[in-house]
A and B are shown apart, each in its own frame.
Chain A
Amino acid sequence: MTKLTINGASVEVQVEDDTPLLWVIREHVGLTGTKYGCGIAQCGACTIHLDGVATRSCALPVSAVGPDQAIVTIEGLGVPKPHPVQEAWAELDVAQCGFCQVGMIMAASALLAQNPNPSDDDIRAEITNICRCGTYGRVLAGVKHAAERMRG
């Protein structure tokens, strides 16, 4: 059995060691908010927080994650109340199809945890997730809006 800590809860799953964390989260734990986009850590749809760091879970074998490392998925981010990034996203209607936005939100929230006052260039450099609908302008505005909310 593989032991993991997901959204603050201890989880045991029976999986092959090389199974990427993404598929453990989606198929064995049953949390489908974290998306599959490319499988090669290019697009960022599968972004989760691993010990607070934005991490692409599709290319990370579950065996590389320790039982006490804190995995946070989109389902655990806005609990008990929505994260400021989620609030900013709602306020600015950032999402179009929405598929990539969970990864965007996880990347943005991790960025703001490290850098509460990012410049446009910081955001452009750090948020490398792919959005095919083309929400980038609103993503940029959303991160800044969330930063303002977090600073109060």
Chain B
Amino acid sequence: MTAHPASKATPSGPRLSRRGFLAGTGAAAGLFTFGFSFPLATPVAAQGAAPEVNAWVVIQPDETVIIRIARIEMGQGSLTGLAQLVAEELDCDWDKVRFELVNPAENARRGNVWNTQSTGGSRAIRGSQDYVRRGGAAARAVLLEAAAKGWGVPTGECTVAKGVITHTPTKRTTTYGAVAGTAGAITPPADVRLKDPAAWTIAGQPVKRLDTKDKLDGSLVYGIDYRMPGMLVAVPKACPVHGGTLKSFDAAAVAGMPGVKHVLKVDDETVAVVADTFWRAKTALDALPITWDEGPNAKVSSETIAAMVREGLTAETPFVGNAIGDAKGTLAGARRVIEADYGFPYQNHAPMEVLAATVRWTPERCEVWGPTQVPEAALAAVSAAAGLPASACDIQVMRIGGSFGRRLQTDYLTMATRIARQVPGTPVKMMWTREEDMLQGRFHPITQCRLRASLDAKGEVEALHMRISGQSIAIYAIPGLMTAKGDPLVFQGLTPGGEMALGYTIPNLLIDHAMRNPHIRPGAWRGVNLNQNAIYLECFIDELAETAGQDPLAFRRTLMRNHPKHLAVLEAAAKGIGWETPPAKGRARGIAQVMGFGSYVAAAAEVSVADGQLKIHRIVAATDPGHVVNPQQVDAQVSGSFVYGLSAMLYGECTVKDGRIEQENFDTYNVMRLDEMPAVEVITLPSGGFWGGVGEPTIAVAAPAVLNAVFAATGKRVRQLPLKNVDLNVS
């Protein structure tokens, strides 16, 4: 034993546990020693634990305001936004605000007092804003009443600012911290009035994130970092052909390797090596002789999948997402039909943090420390895999190192629980390799689209038939959403109304879908089906503008005359890029718009193409999410969404050979880096009256705006992504 290196490990974030108001998952500060001694994992009760004012708010005697966050934070910043909304109605001092995470078992025990914790569909803020604001307002009301009772005065004579309560007639003051102890027992008013957003002083402001500090010094404990005394590490490998099974493995061949404790069958398709460290488990797993039964999909390839999906472009289908007039009849009689086929490949979420979770199973109880986007579903999955009632299970949720939809599915938690169940009493951290993460993803579905349209004598679109063919996410991952005719999610951005409404009026319109499901397992990937639908339609609208001999913006204005909110963001993006003035020599521009997840978004891109090399110089993105809770976080989400969307456009492609995904790591699944990052200028135009999402919508306009600019620069229409496969040299 020698001296300790500098170590500042602290808990991964405060959290609420069943035992009260506790701080920390456990990696206690400064306790690291060498060898295999691990920091304590048992939560330690916070000093001076304070009673809660209500489910959302705890105020300590030292005036620290702890706001409970039920939705999951995975980088999107909603943790801070939700705290702002509570703090706004609470009228507390923002500088005193801290956060605490809610665990799903606690939520269940308290009758779902925190509502749903599921975090997806850009719903964290818009789906919770009403009840979290009411929570803040109710806490304010009982705190004021507690102060008034203490003074023996009417509550109506008391006011509060930044957590300091004043009895106006006598100018006496007290604080939230001083009265919080008695406020919790007061019954809150049946109804509270929420502030007009125009009067907000905390919400709506670009305040700093609450969850930054421990991300900068290495002390935030993510799922892969979790450690417990006596913990083992399991590394799994599933049949690389989805749907195949595990036939046999030769555990004896690796039993003597360093650190190896167990080689386990996890389920019908998965084996895992359990060792004292990840590296030793992975090394043994790589050496483990495994025989797979690859099953009926062993010969499937990208080519066979493409043919299967292509067949759906012309097949009969009953599943219609939007229909007006008689598109097929009009096209049959049209003098000229403009037609194009587009395609979008499989994508992997590839979050920086691979899947991991730590589980301790005993015959009485199952405890999990791990990240998930769906805490309630995760608890149900753990309960099922543990063979224990949900009331005997607990999940300590964690902030996540990126997720983008991958952890909307609970397969890895089931797997981790099944492993730990075979090693009773021993905490086991299951951790995937990047390769496993790439092969066993839940992929952005593959689709193709055939668009056919005709123009009338004035050059306006008189008919459009948009046929989408391809994979359903819902039938695999969310079967409850399926209708008798199909998966309604496939029409995102194309529906007649609602939160994903089409922004064009076309007199004869048919948008339909033929479901074709290859064996590759799909999942919701940031932006979901809005991504390819916006590419298909926005690029094709550009093709129609070109055929009509019109400017792409002017052409859209005509189609969008009945859709002022869609048009407003498009105009803002176009103005931002300087659409009305020609670009510098060698530069070209493109635009795109869509509505998704309740928000109206548009983008304008300026690019150049020299010697076949694309350079994206500028992006102007405009978004109308109704209300903006934190402009700085909206800016971060919108800017970041372009990296995600443009990475897919430039490089993203998971191909299939011999039934398995071919790309196993970032060397073959490339993503955008800093050197390619364009300047992204973010315009927010919150028009009020509705609440839209922010994390996803703008991804969908990234690729079509750039692809339309690529056409303007080169005359080449890119209809099959990714762009890396396309020669942009102008011959």
Contact = CB atoms under 8 A, between A and B. Distances in A.
Contacts of B671: 130, 132
A48 to B, nearest CB: 11
B666 A38 contact: yes
A63 interface: no
A95 interface: yes
B292 interface: no
Nearest to A74: B218
Contact of B218 (A6, A102, A129): A102
A10 B8 CA distance: 17
Given A27-B278, A97-B400, A136-B674, A36 B7 contact: no
A36 B674 contact: no
Nearest to B224: A36
Contacts of B403: 97
A102 to B, nearest CB: 5
B277 A33 contact: no
Interface in A1-59: 6-14, 16, 19-20, 23, 26-40, 42-43, 45
B402 A39 contact: no
Interface string B198-228: 0000000000110111111111111011010
Contacts of A129: 673-674
B6 A86 contact: no
B644 A134 contact: yes
A20 B215 CA distance: 24
Interface in B31-60: 32-36, 38-39
Nearest to A76: B6
Given A28-B35, A130-B673, A95 B212 contact: yes
Contact of B5 (A9, A42, A134, A139): A9
Given A42-B667, A90-B213, A130-B666, A97 B34 contact: no
A96 B496 CA distance: 35
Q: Which of A7, A37, A132 has the most CB of B within 10 A?
A: A132
B433 interface: yes
B401 A134 contact: no
Contacts of B76: 96
A50 B77 CA distance: 33
User: What secondary structure prevails in chain B residues at the interface with A?
Assistant: loop
Interface residues of A, number: 69
A97 B353 contact: yes
A147 interface: no
Interface string B395-435: 00001111110000000000000000000000000000111
A39 B675 contact: no
Q: Which of B38, B216, B258 has the most CB of A within 10 A?
A: B216
A118 to B, nearest CB: 12
Given A90-B213, A97-B352, A128-B674, A16 B665 contact: no
A68 interface: no
Contacts of B402: 96-97, 99, 132-133
A96 B75 contact: yes
Nearest to A99: B401
Given A6-B5, A9-B2, A96 B218 contact: no
Interface in A115-140: 123-125, 127-140
B33 A30 contact: yes
Contact of B401 (A19, A79, A97, A139): A97
Given A9-B5, A75-B5, A128 B34 contact: no
A98 interface: yes
A129 B74 CA distance: 19
B680 A101 contact: no
A15 B567 CA distance: 62
Interface size class of B (residues with CB under 8 A): 35 or more
A29 B679 contact: no
Interface stretch (B126-134, B606-614, B632-640): B632-640
Nearest to A105: B216
Contact of B352 (A16, A28, A29, A100): A100
Contacts of B8: 75, 79
Contacts of B458: none
A33 B221 CA distance: 8
B209 A93 contact: yes
A27 to B, nearest CB: 4
A59 to B, nearest CB: 11
Nearest to B644: A134
Interface string B646-672: 010000000000000000011100011
B504 interface: no
Given A9-B5, A27-B278, A130-B671, A93 B212 contact: yes
Contacts of B219: 33, 75
A66 B586 CA distance: 52
B643 interface: yes
B5 A138 contact: no
A130 B211 CA distance: 21
B576 interface: no
B357 to A, nearest CB: 15
Contacts of B679: 137
B350 interface: yes
B675 A124 contact: yes
Interface in A56-99: 73-79, 82, 86, 89-90, 93, 95-99
A123 B674 contact: yes
Contacts of B400: 97
Nearest to A135: B640
A7 B216 contact: no
B589 to A, nearest CB: 20
B72 to A, nearest CB: 11
A75 B401 contact: no
A131 B641 CA distance: 12
Interface in B123-170: none
Contacts of A33: 9, 217-219
B690 interface: no
B476 interface: no
B507 interface: no
B677 A86 contact: no
A44 to B, nearest CB: 9
Interface in B342-388: 350-354
Contacts of B3: 9-10
Contact of B77 (A6, A7, A13, A96): A96
B80 to A, nearest CB: 9
Nearest to B636: A96
B643 A30 contact: no
B443 interface: no
A31 B675 contact: no
A132 B5 contact: no
Contacts of A31: 5, 7, 9, 32, 218
Contact of B2 (A10, A128, A132, A133): A10
26 contacts: A10-B2, A16-B283, A19-B279, A27-B277, A27-B279, A30-B38, A30-B39, A32-B224, A36-B354, A37-B354, A38-B434, A75-B217, A82-B216, A86-B217, A96-B76, A96-B402, A97-B352, A97-B400, A97-B403, A98-B211, A98-B216, A134-B639, A134-B644, A136-B674, A137-B679, A139-B674
Interface of A: 6-14, 16, 19-20, 23, 26-40, 42-43, 45, 73-79, 82, 86, 89-90, 93, 95-102, 105, 123-125, 127-140
> Closest 9 interchain pairs by CB?
A33-B218, A134-B643, A98-B215, A97-B75, A134-B640, A99-B401, A74-B218, A96-B75, A7-B5
